[in-house]
Structure 1
């Protein structure tokens, strides 16, 4: 694949773009010109995962098959680096330009990906405005007072986000120390309820809607021990869709953390 700078100018403003990654979909839905985006991954139409599900629903959903992509006659397909190797080869063999972008694990990395995508779409001004808005939101929402205490993020199957994760960054920016990081847990790991109880966090962060359809993976939301701790700790309900991808939606997470900390 040619580096972006080496692509002819006419190719830098594609007319029919497909994205095949939930997080890249969210960026493209914000950056693309009207009618420029002609397909997004089916995950973007799931309101539990996608903040822009209503907007994505107006576009054809794309799955991991070359047929579902080529039928849309794209002149650019944007995918994540390190994934869909065979699919990328088939698309290139079919003469379709492919742009691979990295997975962003922080707000700063998200800004870089937005800049790269905006350039590929010929929408540099829109990208700059989006990044400027993100920086202003970060400035306004970053906690500058005394530390607020310890927080822990809990998700399905006892999952948590530790050091180096996006949630770790959002907690730190919001004035909290991440209990999972203190326990030596990496970006994604597991933590028992007993460990959470022993850590006595000042703030519990979870998706309060996770157990709307009860399942063993999400039963922790209503666990009696956790409910008892919630009587001593503050609680922030943060739907997964606001932190599953690095980008503009993260500031809703920070707003909810701030509200819970008051």
Structure 2
């Protein structure tokens, strides 16, 4: 999996922009009809919408997921997705499914969207949520579109419970942390990941580095001013990524005493919704391990 594909999965860099449903387009005589009150065949072209769809839809409502969701390295629902239909995201595949609703990301292929419009297949477009509140609203909106609003509320309650469980105590020390993403990017302030870090007792070190967007961080800056905790993904299955090459650099061994390393699986980087449950748990675990290391006790 390359960085381009990873960016495509999120519709941009992981957890960096957007909110809830994309703005409605003006209605024209050629516009597709609105989706039915309870669609019977729903397809998704976006892996972040896939994870919500499998939580709130009846199984026989799911006409297809995106092919990204079958990738165990990048998806939290890979095993479940392998038992469900999928597409490679082409207009021909979607047309053959005869769906009455297609869920698409804000950055979905324009030619595919145009083809769906010509075929008068209803679509609903969603942007990448930038906050927890926007992510929860997206869950509610997908559930509403599918005719199961109560399932959306139940999923929101589960996410909120996980966030509450992962929150530090009022007197817990705040640790600085940096999330190192594929391609050597770091997660910037003002993103969903940034909020998740703050909710679980971390301060995003990208702020003190002066970063205002998710971008590359020079190794020299990391070594000169290391965070308390460096979060990075699991080893890749092929050649090391740029992020992995940085993580393996001998210079980092010089700051080992000052900086804890923690694994933060890549599959948790890209999506909100139900993925936030695992994200909160992983971040809280990393915080506990770092604090235990400071005290010299096992986590």
Q: Same fold (TM over 0.5)?
A: yes
> Deviation digits for residues 209-257 of structure 1, max 9, x if unmatched?
2345332523223222224433432222110111211122223233223
Pairs aligned (count): 258
Q: Which TM-score applies when normalising by structure 2?
A: 0.79
> Deviation digits for residues 102-153 of structure 1, max 9, x if unmatched?
2212221111111111111001110010001111111221223333221111
Alpha-carbon separation, structure 1, partners of 2:25 and 2:211:
39
Q: 2:291: which partner in 1?
A: none
CA contact (8 A) 1:33 1:123 kept: no
Describe how 1:111-260 pairs up with structure 2 within 5 A. 111-143=136-168, 144-207=170-233, 209-217=234-242, 218-260=244-286
Alpha-carbon separation, structure 2, partners of 1:103 and 1:259:
26
Alpha-carbon separation, structure 2, partners of 1:72 and 1:165:
35
Q: 1:26: which partner in 2?
A: 51
Q: Which TM-score applies when normalising by structure 1?
A: 0.90
CA contact (8 A) 2:232 2:263 kept: yes
CA contact (8 A) 2:42 2:62 kept: yes
Q: 2:86: which partner in 1?
A: 61
Return closer, same or farther for 1:57/1:251 CA change in 2, 3 Å cut-off.
same
Alpha-carbon separation, structure 2, partners of 1:227 and 1:249:
32
Q: Higher mean Cα deviation, 93-102 or 80-89?
A: 80-89
Return closer, same or farther for 1:88/1:163 CA change in 2, 3 Å cut-off.
same
Quote how far apart the aligned CAs of 1:8 are: 9.8
Quote how far apart the aligned CAs of 1:191 are: 0.3
Q: Which has the higher contact order (CA 8 A, sep 6+)?
A: 2
CA RMSD of aligned residues (A): 2.3
